[in-house]
A = this chain, B = another copy of it.
C-alpha cells in the first residue's frame, strides 16, 4: 500500500517476504507455514500467499502436502551432499563455457576477491568467507555462453544457500586449500587452457570441498562419486 511496494503484486511481496525469512533462518526447516497467519501478518488475503508458497514449492524451498499445508523443507545433509555434487557438475561446466569470454579485467576482479578471502583467513569468519566464495565463482561463470546452464547453476546455489550456511564452518582447514585452488583456476583461464581441463579442475575444486566435509562429518560413508 505504501509507495515502493505498490510496484510488486501482493503475491510477489509474499513470496519475497517468506523467502527472506527462510534465508535468515527465522523460518527454520520444518517450520509450519500457515496461510492465514502469514496473510494476517502481511495484511492481505490468503490467495496471494498461497500462490507465493506454490512458487517456493517449485523451487524446492518448501514442501507442500495436500490438505495439510506447507513447511520449510527439511534438510538432512543428504540433500546437501546431493546438491553439492550437482553443483560441482554444473558449475564446472558453466565455468568452462564462460572461460573464453572472460576479459583480463574479469580475472583481475576475481583475483582481488580471492585476495580478500586470503585476508579473511586470519580471523576466520565462515559466513563472510562463503559469501566471497560465491562472488568469486559468480565472476567466473557469469559469462557462460549457455543461459540455461547459468539458470541451473544459480538455482543450485540458491538451494544450497538455504540448505546450509557454510561448509567452511564445518571444515575450517578446507578454506586455505580452497583459495589456492582458486588461483590455479585463474591461471588456467589466463593461459587459455583447454576447456576440458578447466572444467575438470573446477569440478574437482568443488568436489574437494564436499569430500572434506564428508571426511570430517561422515568418515565412514562414501558417496558414489565418479573420479571426476
Q: Which residues of A contact B (CB under 8 A)?
A: 9, 47, 50-51, 54-55, 58-59, 66, 79, 82-83, 85-86, 89-90, 93, 96-97, 100-101, 145-149, 152, 194-196, 198-199, 223-228
CB neighbours (8 Å) of A198 from chain B are: 226
Q: Which residue of B lies closest to A87 (CB)?
A: B148
CB neighbours (8 Å) of A224 from chain B are: 97, 100-101, 145-146
A86 and B199 contact, Cβ closer than 8 Å, known pairs A51-B54, A55-B54, A226-B96: no
A226 CB contact (under 8 Å) in B54, B66, B82, B196: B196
CB neighbours (8 Å) of A93 from chain B are: 89, 226
How many Å from the CB of A110 to the closest CB on chain B?
Answer: 20
How many Å from the CB of A16 to the closest CB on chain B?
Answer: 15
Expressed in whole angstroms, the Cα–Cα distance for A93 and B82 within the complex equals 13
How many Å from the CB of A148 to the closest CB on chain B?
Answer: 4
Interface residue SS majority, chain A: helix
Report whether A149 and B55 are in contact in the complex, using a CB–CB cutoff of 8 Å: no
Q: Which residue of B lies closest to A84 (CB)?
A: B148
Expressed in whole angstroms, the Cα–Cα distance for A199 and B227 within the complex equals 11
A152 and B9 contact, Cβ closer than 8 Å, known pairs A58-B55, A97-B224, A224-B100: no
CB neighbours (8 Å) of A51 from chain B are: 50-51, 54
Expressed in whole angstroms, the Cα–Cα distance for A194 and B79 within the complex equals 26
Report whether B148 and A82 are in contact in the complex, using a CB–CB cutoff of 8 Å: yes
Given contacts A79-B148, A195-B227, 6 further A-B contacts (CB under 8 A): A47-B47, A50-B51, A54-B58, A82-B149, A86-B148, A145-B223
A146 and B85 contact, Cβ closer than 8 Å, known pairs A54-B54, A195-B226, A196-B228: yes
CB neighbours (8 Å) of A148 from chain B are: 79, 82-83, 85-86
Considering the complex of A and B, which 5 residue pairs feature the smallest CB-CB distances, nearest first? Answer: A195-B226, A58-B58, A82-B148, A145-B224, A82-B146
